[in-house]
Structure 1
Amino acid sequence: MRLKITLVIVVLAMSFSNAQMRKWTLQECVEYAVENNLSIEQFELDLENAKIDKSDALGAFLPSLNGDSRLTASTGLSFNPTTQEPVNTTILNFTGNLTSAITLFDGLRNVHQFNRAKLNAIANQYRLDDLKDDIRLNVANAYLQVLSNKEQLKTFEAQYAVTEQDLKRTRELVESGVLPRGDLLEIEATAANQEQQIINGEGLVLISRVSLAQLLQITDYENFDIADEEFGIPPSDILKNSAKVIFDKALTFRNDIRFSETSVELAEKDLQIAKGANYPTVGAFFNYNTRYSDQNFGPDGSLIPFTEQLYVFDGISYGASLNVPIFNGWSTRNSVRRSKINLEQAKLQLEQDKLALETNIQQAYVDVTTFFKAYEAALKTMDARRLAYDYAKERYDVGLMNAFDFSQAQARVDNAEADVIRTKYDYIFRLKILEFYFGIPIALN
C-alpha cells in the first residue's frame, strides 16, 4: 500500500513539473536571446562608451575653467609679502587662482575628432545590430533543428505502433502454424530496430533542446522545451528576384556592410586628425589671481581683513599662445603614414565583406533551389515507398511475401519519411536565410 502511495506521489509530481514547463515559441526564443545574450550586453556597453567619447569630443570645443588655492604657513626668517623686509616670525599666506583656456585652432583636429566620435557611435550601433542578426539566424536554425528531430521522433513512434500490430498478428499466425517462426523473428528484429530509432530520436531531441537552451543561455535544461508548433512549407516569392537583385538590396541595409563602410569613414577621419598635427596650435587664456597674508597691516597698524585683502591684491592676466610643430622625431609623419595604411586596410575589408556577402547570397540562392527540389523528390519517393509498402503488406497478409522482404519495404518507408522531414526543414531554413538577406524578418508562419 505504501509503495502504491509513493508511486502516485511521484506521478503527480512529474505531472505538475510538466505542467509548469514553459513552452517557448520561435518568436519568444529570438526575443529572449537578443535581450539576454552576454555578447550583446558587452556590445551595448561598447556603444555607451562610444556615446561618452562623443561627449568628450564635444567638450573639446568649450573653454576649460580651473581654480586652485594654497594656504601656507612659514616659521623663521622670511620676507614680509608687503614690505619685502626680512622678518623672523610665523607668516600665514593664502593665494587663489582662477584660469580659463580655450583652443582656437589646432589644425581642425577637434572638429575631426568630434565627427569621428559621432561615426564611432554609429559604427558600434551597426556592429550591435549585426550581432543581433546573427543571433536571430542561429536561434532560428537551432529551433528548426528541434522541430525536425521532434517530427522524426513522432514518425518513429508511429512506425513502431504499426509494427507492434504486425508483430501481434504475426505471433498469432505463427502460434497457429500458418507462418513459420522465422517470420516472427524478422518482425521482432524490425521492432527492435525501430525501438533503437526511437531511443536515438529521443537523444537527438534532447541534444538539440540543450543546444537551443545554451544559445539562450538558459541552464535549466530539464524544464526547457519549445512549443508544439507545426510548420508547413511557407509561401514565398523570393525566387522571383535574381541573386543580383537580392545582393544589391542587401548592400543598402545589411549591418555588417554598414559597419565596414563606417569603418572606412573612421579611418578617413583618423587620417585627417593625424594630418592636423602638422599645423600650428593657437590658444587663448585668462587668469584671475588674489592673495592674503597675516603680515599686511593698514596705516593704523591693524591687520587688513581677509576679504578686503582679496579685493585689494587681486589681478588678472590674459593672452594668446602659439605652438608651431617643427620637429618631433618624425612621429607626426609616421602617424600620417599609419593612418593611410589603416585607411587602405579598411577599404580592402569593405570589399572583402561585400564579396563574402555576395558569395553567401549566391550560395543561399542555390541552396533554396536545390533543397526545394530535394524536398519535392523526397515527397515523391515517400509516396512511392508507401504504395510499395501497401502492396507488400497485402502480399504479406496473404502469405505471398516473407517477413524479411516485408521488413525491407517498411524500412524503406521509414527512411523516406525521415528524408521528407529532413529536407523540409533544410529548405525552410535556407529559404528564411535568403529572405533575411532581402530584408524580410524571420518568421515561420
Structure 2
Amino acid sequence: MKKQIIIIFLFLGVIAQAQNKKWTLLECVNYALENNISIKQSDLDVDLADIDKKQASSNFLPNLNSNVSYNINTGANINPATNQFENNTFKSASSGLNSSINIFSGLSNWKTLQRAKINKIASEYRLEKMKDDISLIVANSFLQILANREQLKVLQSQNKLTKENLENTQELVNAGVLPQGDLLEIRATDATQAQQIIAAENALFLSKLGLAQTLQLKDYESFDIADDDYGLVPADILDKDASEIVAKAKEEVNDIKIAQTSFELAQKDLELARTSYYPTLSGFLGYNTRWASTQIDPLTGGDIPFVDQLYIFDGTSVGLQLNVPIFNRFNVRNNVKRSKVNVERLKYQLEQTEIDLESTVYQAYNDAKNSKKAYEAALQTEEARRLAFEYAKERYDVGLSNAFDFNQSRATYENSQSDVVRTKYDYIFRLKILEFYFGLPITDLN
C-alpha cells in the first residue's frame, strides 16, 4: 500500500513539473524541428530521393524473370513439344528463365544516376530551408511573447502608480486642496489602464497560444516561456560590412543552394533527353523447356516421362538486340528543345535568386541599423518623458497643476515606455535575422 502511494505521488509530481515547465528559445526551436509536420514531410521527400538514387544504381544490373504455363488443348492445336498440329485433346506445359542487360543506351543509366544524386542533395537543401523557416517563425513568436509580457509589466507598473496617486488625490480632495474633478479624472485614468491591462493580457495569451500551436503542443493553457530577464543581444554583426554578410549569405542560405541544384537538375534532364537520339544495344539470355501429354516414345511406344521431356525439349537462347531510332514524329527533338528552355529558365531563376538575396540582406542590414537608432531614440525619449512626468507630478502634488495636465504628462510618459519595449524587441529580431544570413544560430538571446 505504501509503495502504491509513493508511486502516485511521484506521478503527480511529474505532471506538476510538466505543467510548470518554462520553455527556452533553444527548447522551442529544437522541439519544433523534431515535431513540425512540414519538416516531417520534407524529411519524407529526402527518403523518396534516396530511394530514387538506389533505383538509379540498380538500373545497371541485369534483370531476371521466370515464366510457367499449363494448358489443356482440344481440337486442332500445335503441340508445343513437336510443333505439329494435333486434332485431339492433350495437356501441355512450358517454363523458362530469361535475363537481359542494357549494354548501351546513350549513357542514360549513368546520367539518371547523376541526376538522382543531385536530386537527393536538392531535397536535403529543401529540408534545411524548411528548418530555417520554422526556426525563424519560432524565434519571432518567442520574441513577441517577450514583448507582450514586458508591455504588460509596464502597464501594471503604470497602474500601480495611478492607484497610489488616486489615494493621494482622494486625501487632497477631502482636505479641500484639489477639486472633485481632479479625482474623477484620476479614476477615469485608472479605468482606462485597467482596460489596457486586460487587452495586454489577452495579447500575451494569444502570442503564447500561437507559439504552442506552432510547436503543436496539446496543452495550450499551461504553456509558458522562461522568465529570464532578456537583455539586448550583442550587435557585433553590425560591425561587419554589408557586402561581407552578402557573400557569407550566398554560402549559407539554402535558397541559393536550392536554385543551384534546380539548375543542375535541368542540365541533367537535357542530357537525358539527348540520349534518345542514340541507338540502344541490349543483350539477352534465356532457357526454356516444355512438356506435352501426347508425346510417344518411338522405341517403347509409351508416353515419354515428364522429367525426360523437360530434358529432351529444353533449349537456350542468347543474343544481342539493337534498336536504332529513325523517325519518332520529332518527339525527341521537341523534348530536347523543352529541356533547353527549362535550363535557360532555371539559369535566370538562379541569377534572380542571387539578386533577391543580395537585396534582402542589404535591406535586413539597413533595417537592423535603423532599428538600433529607433531603440536608442526611444530610450532618450523615455528618459526625457520620465523627467517631465516627475516634474508634473511634483507640481500636481502641491496644487500647482490640474489633473488634466498631469494626465497628459503621464500619458506621454507611458507611450514612451511602450515605444521602448516595441523598439527593443524589433531591434533584437532584426539582429537575429542578420545573424541568420551570416550563418549564426538564432537560438541565443543572451
Task: Give the alignment's TM-score, normalised by structure 1.
Answer: 0.92
Aligned ranges for residues 250-269 of structure 1 at < 5 Å?
Answer: 250-269=249-268
Structure 2: give runs of 5+ residues left out of the alignment: 1-14
Alpha-carbon separation, structure 2, partners of 1:78 and 1:427: 90
Closer, same or farther in 2 for the Cα pair 1:85/1:411, shift >3 Å?
closer
Tell me which residue corresponds to 2:106.
Answer: 107
Shift of 1:157: 0.5
Structure 1: give runs of 5+ residues left out of the alignment: 1-15
Aligned ranges for residues 79-118 of structure 1 at < 5 Å?
Answer: 87-118=86-117
Closer, same or farther in 2 for the Cα pair 1:324/1:83, shift >3 Å?
closer
> What amino acid does structure 1 have at the position aligned with 2:29?
V
> What amino acid does structure 1 have at the position aligned with 2:445?
L
Tell me which residue corresponds to 2:145.
Answer: 146
Shift of 1:78: 4.2
Aligned ranges for residues 179-328 of structure 1 at < 5 Å?
Answer: 179-298=178-297, 299-328=299-328
Tell me which residue corresponds to 2:409.
Answer: 409
> What amino acid does structure 1 have at the position aligned with 2:220?
Y
Of 69-78 and 179-188, more deviation after overlay is shown by 69-78
Shift of 1:322: 0.9
Tell me which residue corresponds to 2:424.
Answer: 424
Alpha-carbon separation, structure 1, partners of 2:85 and 2:370: 101
3-state DSSP of counterpart to 1:319: strand
Closer, same or farther in 2 for the Cα pair 1:154/1:277, shift >3 Å?
same
Alpha-carbon separation, structure 2, partners of 1:274 and 1:286: 29
Contact 1:82–1:295 (CA<8 Å) still a contact in 2? no
Alpha-carbon separation, structure 1, partners of 2:154 and 2:47: 50
Shift of 1:219: 5.0
> What amino acid does structure 2 have at the position aligned with 1:423?
T
Tell me which residue corresponds to 2:28.
Answer: 29
3-state DSSP of counterpart to 1:222: coil
Contact 2:73–2:89 (CA<8 Å) still a contact in 1? yes
The alignment of Structure 1 onto Structure 2 pairs a total of residues equal to 430
Alpha-carbon separation, structure 2, partners of 1:293 and 1:178: 127
Alpha-carbon separation, structure 1, partners of 2:104 and 2:434: 51
Tell me which residue corresponds to 2:68.
Answer: 69
Closer, same or farther in 2 for the Cα pair 1:97/1:241, shift >3 Å?
same
> What amino acid does structure 1 have at the position aligned with 2:378?
A
Contact 2:252–2:437 (CA<8 Å) still a contact in 1? no
Closer, same or farther in 2 for the Cα pair 1:34/1:390, shift >3 Å?
same
Alpha-carbon separation, structure 1, partners of 2:173 and 2:363: 56
Alpha-carbon separation, structure 1, partners of 2:55 and 2:258: 22
> What amino acid does structure 2 have at the position aligned with 1:336?
V
Shift of 1:203: 1.8
Closer, same or farther in 2 for the Cα pair 1:175/1:91, shift >3 Å?
same
Shift of 1:86: 5.8
Contact 2:81–2:291 (CA<8 Å) still a contact in 1? no
3-state DSSP of counterpart to 1:72: strand
Alpha-carbon separation, structure 2, partners of 1:83 and 1:187: 116
Closer, same or farther in 2 for the Cα pair 1:54/1:402, shift >3 Å?
same
Shift of 1:297: 3.5
Shift of 1:91: 1.3
3-state DSSP of counterpart to 1:66: strand
Instruction: Report percent identity of matched pairs.
Output: 53
Tell me which residue corresponds to 2:11.
Answer: none
Closer, same or farther in 2 for the Cα pair 1:86/1:113, shift >3 Å?
closer
Task: Give the alignment's TM-score, normalised by structure 2.
Answer: 0.92
Closer, same or farther in 2 for the Cα pair 1:65/1:425, shift >3 Å?
same
Alpha-carbon separation, structure 2, partners of 1:195 and 1:441: 39
Alpha-carbon separation, structure 1, partners of 2:426 and 2:408: 27
